[in-house]
Amino acid sequence: VKEDKFLDGISNIDADVVQDFVSMDNELKKKNNKSKAWIRLGAAAACIALIVGAVFIVPAMRDDAPEIPPDHTMLNNDTDNTLPSEDTTVSSDTDVTSQPEDTTVSEDTSDTLPPEDTTSPPAETTADRGEDTTAPPEDTTVNNEPDYVPNETYYLQWKDVGEYFGVKTNTSLPADLPYKEGFCEVKSEKYGSYEEGISNVPQDRIGNKIDNIVIRTGWRYSLTGEESDIYEVNADVYEIDGISPDIAVAVKYLKKPVGDNTEYYYMYLNPDCNADSIYDFLGMYNAEAYLKLGSRVYIFPNGESSNSYNYEVYDEAIDDIKNLILNLTSTACYNKYTEDNIKAIEKIASGYTQKLQISIILGNGGVMSVLDNGYVYFVNINEPFAIYEIGVDAAQNLFDAVKNNAKLLNDPNSFSEETVSVSKY
């Protein structure tokens, strides 16, 4: 019981204390990882220095060091130097990663060797290995395999710039960077260009069945176009209530694919159907008929890094706020993954102070965020991602409409479980 008391006491520690601890823990771990990386780098540098020392400096310091003849067979003349010359030839298909340390050191005495000798392995290792003529480190210079290191991280970070607005990344994708990209193709004449969205479509929004398609997924390598892990599955295509099939459709798999199931209706979107203004965007989803606002609204006073002020909007004010949204007009739109857009999005992300977040149902539900520097974006409603510039005044109107027509529920400076929210629609 003693223990139980203490355990329960500790378990009831306020969330803000836990939050502080977790934040500090993350910082420390990050810092430690960096230090460890430096230690590893230091160790690697020390090893290299040792090797360089052993190879270049030590022989030079040895007065009695024998003169190294140009013939590479003399490299290890105290061992077996009688091997036939063909055994020492390096094949081009050997493993470029096999670089035994001993061979590195032994052949490093070859600083005076002519270039052609770099294709030869040390005689002793060849003899020991029998028919398996493993290549020495130099064989990387004659290997015909492409230097190909797929890098999926780059690809994912690139995608994240647009998809996860507010997550800062300075990564852009170098044109010559080899990476592998997960692809998902729709084999269909009409819906061939459609891409899977993030959301599932609720059953009550499913309309008529309009097609049957094949979905093909796998990995594709950027440099060669080579594909791997290909998987194909049949699926039915349905209309979504309130959305034109030219914009989006619901897809139900007939056989369970990797990571998904046969129960849900997955939203597939036409990537070419970007709305270039917020008016078109709202029209595309028939917002006048379908837009619903949640009663809970969150204002982050210092960006996403802060806790939010949580408001409960009065029932009678919901329609007014909805009308404000429906009448928004935009002067600019960022809805394509172009370099200019990415830069603009990053600038927008770093240029706001307050963010207003409203849970809404539109298309498949989602969140509408308003930034006090005059921008609006929608998450989990459609893809590709888009940001609309509505102007500082229009953004301020939305902030005011919420603050003046809602009850404040919490103090963000003393976070507790009570700040969690339930939104009515």
Indicate the residue among 365 and 391 with the shorter CB distance to another protein.
365
Helix pair 339-350, 152-163: axis angle to 10 deg: 60
Span near another protein by CB under 8 A; candidates 45-53, 113-121, 162-170, 323-331: 162-170
Indicate the residue among 25 and 71 with the shorter CB distance to another protein.
25
Give the separation between CA 185 and CA 165, rounded to whole angstroms. Answer: 26
> Please, which of residues 55-94 interact with another protein by CB under 8 A?
none
Q: Is 384 in the site for another protein (CB under 8 A)?
A: no
Indicate the residue among 19 and 327 with the shorter CB distance to another protein.
19
Q: Is 226 in the site for another protein (CB under 8 A)?
A: no
Distances (CA, A) of 318 to 88, 295, 309: 82, 7, 18
Q: Is 277 in the site for another protein (CB under 8 A)?
A: no
> Please, which of residues 33-62 interact with another protein by CB under 8 A?
35
Tell me if 412 sits within 8 A of 309, measured CB to CB: yes
Q: Is 1 in the site for another protein (CB under 8 A)?
A: yes
Give the separation between CA 84 and CA 123, rounded to whole angstroms. Answer: 10
DSSP for 230-259, please give it: EEEEEEEEEEETTB-TTTEEEEEESSPPTT
Indicate the residue among 280 and 304 with the shorter CB distance to another protein.
304
CB within 8 A of 371, min separation 6: which ones?
A: 348, 352, 354, 355, 356, 377, 395
Tell me if 190 sits within 8 A of 211, measured CB to CB: yes
Indicate the residue among 114 and 192 with the shorter CB distance to another protein.
192
Give the separation between CA 369 and CA 357, rounded to whole angstroms. Answer: 5
Give the separation between CA 129 and CA 116, rounded to whole angstroms. Answer: 23
Indicate the residue among 266 and 352 with the shorter CB distance to another protein.
266
Please pick, from the candidates 26, 98, 203, 413, the single residue that binds another protein as defined by CB under 8 A: 26
Please pick, from the candidates 158, 194, 266, 378, the single residue that binds another protein as defined by CB under 8 A: 266
> Please, which of residues 175-194 interact with another protein by CB under 8 A?
182, 184
In the block, tokens 């597939």 appear at: 268
Q: How far is the CB of 279 from another protein (least distance, A)?
A: 25
Which of 341, 333, 327 lies closest to 387 in space, CA to CA?
333
Q: Is 29 in the site for another protein (CB under 8 A)?
A: yes
Please pick, from the candidates 80, 87, 117, 160, the single residue that binds another protein as defined by CB under 8 A: 160
Q: Is 379 in the site for another protein (CB under 8 A)?
A: yes
Q: Is 19 in the site for another protein (CB under 8 A)?
A: yes
Please pick, from the candidates 49, 58, 254, 420, the single residue that binds another protein as defined by CB under 8 A: 420
Distances (CA, A) of 59 to 56, 63, 66, 79, 131: 6, 8, 9, 19, 32
Q: Is 15 in the site for another protein (CB under 8 A)?
A: yes
> Please, which of residues 289-308 interact with another protein by CB under 8 A?
298, 304, 307-308
Q: How far is the CB of 170 from another protein (least distance, A)?
A: 16
Q: How far is the CB of 371 from another protein (least distance, A)?
A: 14
Q: On the CB side of 33, how many CA atoms lie within 13 Å of its CA?
A: 6
Span near another protein by CB under 8 A; candidates 14-22, 126-134, 322-330, 389-397: 14-22
Q: Is 12 in the site for another protein (CB under 8 A)?
A: yes
Q: Is 164 in the site for another protein (CB under 8 A)?
A: yes
Give the separation between CA 8 and CA 1, rounded to whole angstroms. Answer: 10
Q: Is 418 in the site for another protein (CB under 8 A)?
A: no
SS3 17: helix
DSSP lists the bridge partners of residue 293 as: 360
> Please, which of residues 312-371 interact with another protein by CB under 8 A?
359, 364-367
Burial class of residue 395 (count of CB atoms within 10 Å of its CB; 0-12, 13-18, 19+): buried
Tokens of 142: 């004659």
Please pick, from the candidates 54, 68, 233, 332, the single residue that binds another protein as defined by CB under 8 A: 233
Please pick, from the candidates 120, 126, 188, 217, the single residue that binds another protein as defined by CB under 8 A: 217
Please pick, from the candidates 79, 99, 171, 423, the single residue that binds another protein as defined by CB under 8 A: 423
